[in-house]
Structure 1
Amino acid sequence: MIEHLLRLYPAAYRRAHGEEIAEAHRELTAGEPLRVRVRDAAELAAHALRLRAGLGPAAPVARLLGAAYPLVLAASATACGLHLLRWYTALVTSPTPWGLQLRSDLSGAWGALLASSLLVFAGAAGALAGRWRAGVPCTVAGLLVFAAAAVASGPAFGDPVATPAAAVLAAAVLLGCPPDRRGEAVAAGRAATAGGVIALVLVPRAAVDAHLVPGVSTDYGCWPLLVLAAAGVVTAWRGRSPGGRGPAATAPAATVLAATALAAPPLLAQACATAWGDPTALACLAAVLVAGATGVLLAGRFGRVPR
């Protein structure tokens, strides 16, 4: 199998490192169970395809993907968590008996949408906790199943074009991010910020759905985007502050804010579907990112934040 996998690498790279890669792969997989061999083969194939696409760790775009990686996980988990909350709220408030409603909801496209949402949420949580070797494949698989089910279900679970397109884009970013950049995100503390995004969106939404916050509507989706944008601004600011150290400090503020915009489509699709196409969600995201970029730039120019 290793000979077939090596063909995925660019010819020059294969000639220079093919024998070394094959030998290391044989040593690592000797005597291992099938699931480990399949996982290592998938990781090797992904590495080869990233190099063929020019997405090696030293590529300029790798820094953008590394900065976007934890935020994409957060946005994907948040969007799927909102779908699950919406479904659960409808379940407990409906006069239909639970058993009958569950049999209806857990079959067909709706069942696939709910199962894939749960898989995305669990996979993203695992990846943000540092277990990316299992978490990223689970998240990607969940996003792709979610996209297919969203197309099949029509407008019942979001826009039939924007919602699956956003899920596929998020999966592509996660697959394109080099593994060492994933580790850097956790080591730099950006995973904790991403976890905060999930909590700051889902906990208030659950409180509103439970009628603990009277007079607040959940009809519009700007709040998740504002939380994501604020997290990007805070990350950019911290990366240029005197306390910024390690990989987080090496990412320019413009890269972090561009990564935030790259991570936004899952929440944008959810917001636009909830707000019936109202452009307010996109305007709010753009306004916060532009204001944050301006603030970081002015602070650096006036000497308050070192470059």
Structure 2
Amino acid sequence: MIGLVLRLYPRRYRREYGEEILAVYQQTAAEVSSVGRFREAADIAAHAVRMRLGVSSSTAAGRLLARAAPLAVGAAAAYGGVHLSRWYAGVVASPGPVYLTADAWSALLLASALVFVGAVTALTARWHVGVATLTIGLAGLAVAAVVSGPAFGDPIVTPTMALLTALVVLACPPDLRPGPGACAAAGVMAAAAWLPVTAMYAGALPVSTDYGLWPLLVLAAAGLAQSVRSMSPGRAETAATAAACPLFLAYAYTTGAWDLLLPALGTAAVVPLAGALAAGAHALRLRGRSSPR
């Protein structure tokens, strides 16, 4: 099996480092169980695919995905949490008994719970375990949406955006995994995106109109805040925000944002607008430094 995995590497890289990778794998495989060997082979395969696609830590694409990964995980946490909150609000409002059956809605609920738990685990404790759980949940969400999308999403948009989010998170180079600061910022973003929507479902807000824009606005604001804090032009932060927003775009699409012209334009423009604001703030900062005193 390891021979097939090594063939995933680009030919030049395989010629230079293939024997070394094989020797390290064989030494590690002799000391671990079959599950450990499978995990090592999976890690090598993931690294090979990243090398072939040019998303290693030495490339601009890899560094971009490293920026986007914690934001994508935070978006997944908010997205899964919103589904759980909506289910719980329905349970509280329903006079009938609560029970789960083997149907698409129960599959959505389980997938949302896996997404939420995996995302929280990745941002607070163990990135590798959390990402694995999150990926399984997103795959389950995609399958459930295909089977019965109109019940809670769209059978094309929802699974596409879920799988895109999983790819963004999985493509993050292992040596550029987000640190505590990036994870904390993503967690704050997720909480800010989730809490008002949950309050709306619970009837605790004075307004009841929701066109799905709030989570996307929060994500765009998080990218803007990062660019202002790092005093950068905002290009990298805008690109990372765009890579992290698929689930929030799916939420906006399935909750009515694109049924009306103004919310639709807002959905399409909010991320690049945040980038433009960041670029403008950077330009003003540079002009202020260069102006004579």
| TM-score for both structures, normalised by structure 1 | 0.86
The within-5 A match list for 1:193-212 is: 193-212=185-204
Q: Give 2:23's aligned residue.
A: 23
For the residue of structure 1 that corresponds to 2:43, the secondary structure is: helix
Find the residue that maps to 2:179 and give its secondary structure.
helix
Which residue matches 1:72?
72
* SS of equivalent to 1:303: helix
- Distance (Å, rounded) in 1 between the aligned partners of 2:176 and 2:130: 15
What is aligned with 1:135? 130
**Structure 1 residues 71-115: Cα deviation after superposition (integer angstroms, max 9, x where no partner):** 1111112112111111111122112221xxx23xx4222222111
AA matched with 1:186: G
Paired with 2:13 and 2:120, the residues of 1 have a C-alpha distance of: 34
Q: In structure 1, what is the Cα distance between the partners aligned to 2:126 and 2:283?
A: 35
- The runs of 5 or more residues in structure 1 that have no matched partner are 242-251
Secondary structure, counterpart of 1:119 in structure 2: helix
Tell whether the 8 Å contact from 2:213 to 2:257 is kept in structure 1 after alignment.
Answer: no
What's the CA shift for 1:286? 4.1
Report the secondary structure of 2:9's partner residue: coil
d(CA) in 2 for partners of 1:207, 1:73: 22
Q: Give 1:192 shift.
A: 0.7
Residue 276 of structure 1 deviates from its aligned partner by 5.2
Deviation at 1:62, TM superposition (A): 1.0
Once residues 121 and 200 of structure 2 are traced to their aligned partners in structure 1, the CA distance between those partners, rounded to angstroms, is 27
Instruction: Confirm or deny: 8 A CA contact 1:77 1:124 kept in the other structure.
Output: yes
Pick from 165, 168, 173 the counterpart of residue 170 of structure 1.
165
Q: Is the 8 A contact 1:154 1:160 kept in 2?
A: yes
Q: Relative to 1, partners in 2 of residues 1:110 and 1:14: Cα closer, same or farther, differing over 3 Å?
A: same
Q: Name 1:303's counterpart in structure 2.
A: 289
Instruction: Map 1:241-256 onto structure 2 (within 5 A).
Output: 253-256=234-237
CA deviations over 1:149-187 (Å, ceiling 9, x no partner): 1111131111222111111111111122211121xx215
What residue is the counterpart of 1:161 in the other structure?
Answer: 156
* Structure 1 residues 169-188: aligned runs within 5 Å: 169-182=164-177, 185-187=178-180
CA–CA distance in structure 1, aligned partners of residues 29 and 142 of structure 2? 33
The separation in 1 between residues aligned to 2:51 and 2:113, in whole angstroms, is 31
Question: Which residue in the other structure is 2:218 paired with?
Answer: 227
- Percent identity at matched positions? 45
Q: Report if the CA contact (8 A) 1:205-1:218 is conserved.
A: no
Amino acid at match of 1:69: A
- Judged with a 3 Å threshold, the aligned counterparts in structure 2 of structure 1 residues 161 and 300 are, in CA distance, closer, same or farther, namely farther
**C-alpha distance in structure 2 between counterparts of 1:303 and 1:29, whole Å:** 57
Alignment partners' CA distance in 2, 1:294 and 1:111: 47
Which TM-score applies when normalising by structure 2? Answer: 0.89
Q: Whole-Å Cα distance in 2 between the matches of residues 296 and 79 of structure 1? A: 31
Q: Is structure 2 residue 139 aligned with structure 1 residue 144? A: yes
Q: Distance in 1 between matches of 2:272 and 2:236?
A: 15
Q: Distance in 1 between matches of 2:13 and 2:125?
A: 29
Q: CA offsets, 1:100-152, max 9 Å, x none?
A: xx23xx42222221111111111111222252221112212221221121111
Looking at structure 1, the residues matched to 105 and 236 of structure 2 have their Cα atoms a distance apart, in angstroms, of 37
Segment drifting more, 67-76 vs 203-212: 203-212
For 2:32, what is the secondary structure of its paired residue? Answer: coil
Q: Is the 8 A contact 2:234 2:275 kept in 1?
A: no
Partners of 2:71 and 2:244 within 8 A in 1: yes
Q: Structure 1 residues 52, 89: closer, same or farther in 2, change over 3 A?
A: same
1:4-55 Cα deviation digits (max 9, x unpaired) = 2212111211111111111212223323233322222111110011111222
Write the distance in 2 (CA, Å) between the matches of 1:285 and 1:51: 29
Map of 1:51-70 to 2, 5 A cutoff?
A: 51-70=51-70
Asked if residue 240 in structure 1 is aligned to residue 221 in structure 2, the reply is: no
In 2, Cα distance between the equivalents of 1:124 and 1:140?
Answer: 9
Q: Distance in 2 between matches of 1:297 and 1:112?
A: 49
The SS at the match of 2:73 is helix
Check whether the contact 2:79–2:194 (CA below 8 A) recurs between aligned residues.
no
SS in 1 for 2:150: helix
CA distance in 2, matches of 1:289, 1:272: 22
